[in-house]
Structure 1
Amino acid sequence: MDLENEVMELITNAGYARSLVFQAIAVARENNDFAEAESLMQQAQDALSIAHHTQTRLIEMDEGTGKVPVHIIMVHAQDHLMNAIMLTELGREIIMLHKKVAEKN
């Protein structure tokens, strides 16, 4: 396993998920297009799943024994993943609120 490529894959997919969530929120807010927002959220979830699988491979490779060296880029990758997970959960709530507001108008 090429550690550098794995870490970059984690960062890339987590960042892509984050971008898709922001796009979904904007579509919900600006266009009230909740079908498109949901499609973007599903794409974000797919990217997040890939990132999570990458994280799982890294954890399995380490086996809790410190086999995987922890460098600042690894910490950075984990930070990206945690932020993307939180934003995805928050994004769903924000879109739901936009939908409720749109239904009342």
Structure 2
Amino acid sequence: MLVVVAICLAFILGSAQVSLWVVLLNLVVAMVAAGVLAYIGSGWAMAAIALVFFLGPVVTRFVLDGAQLSIRVWFMGILAGWILGALVRRIRDRGLPARGSEERPVL
């Protein structure tokens, strides 16, 4: 439900700033980047998502000359991608034993 809300907000808020094509491109890039990092799920991925969250707009503004970015769409795409990546990881890890539940030898 939260993913749908984030994507709808991205379209509503972003279409006021940029064209529909730019909204779609921003949303896909943000969701893929966040989804991959959430799927990895390590501590380094958490640090990387913080960098992507804040440095994405900075890189677009100063490095990629002529590229358009809607900050609203970017942040909503990061949120939606992170949730989707974490859900995919959760589904993949469903059958694994919980941490600390391995059987230990009885002394």
TM-score (norm 1): 0.34
